[in-house]
Amino acid sequence: MISNPPGIRNLIRRLRIGGCTVKRWLLKEPYLGPLQEGCTTCIALIRGNRITVANIGDSRCVLSWNCEPPRNVQALDLSTQHKPDAKHEKQRILK
């Protein structure tokens, strides 16, 4: 049996609350046609020095920071896009 790390239930609850908040906001917006349709999301929860990321679809979460000298920007992918043509996604879909 896999045990959840401490606080995982609270983390999941907070991610769901955030998702519901965004959904309510989107439902208030006027419909802009099929170009505005889709089902992707990317949520990052920052607690202290930890970042927890949840993503669905072809959304991405990237952490960036500026190093010396100025404009030496570094970036780190925190999520993986769920593109249907990616090998691992194609295998998952075909299961």
Q: Which domain holds residue 47?
A: 8-29+38-94
Dihedral, CA atoms, 53, 56, 57, 63, nearest 10 degrees?
-10
Which pLDDT does position 46 carry in this prediction?
82
Is 1 part of a structural domain of the chain? no
Report residues of the chain scoring pLDDT below 70. Answer: 1-6, 32, 34-38
Indicate whether 42 belongs to any domain: yes
Instruction: Tell me the two tokens of residue 84.
Output: 């249907």
Say if 22 falls within a structural domain.
yes
User: Which pLDDT score, from 0 to 100, does residue 73 have?
Assistant: 85
pLDDT at 37: 67
Looking at residue 16, its pLDDT comes to 81
pLDDT, residue 5, reads 60
Domain count, the chain: 1
Report d(CA 54, CA 80) in Å as an integer. 10
In a domain, 74, yes or no: yes
Does residue 2 form part of some domain? Answer: no
Question: Quick one: pLDDT at residue 2?
Answer: 43
Phi and psi at residue 64, in whole multiples of 5°? -130, 150
Query: 3 in a domain, yes or no?
Result: no
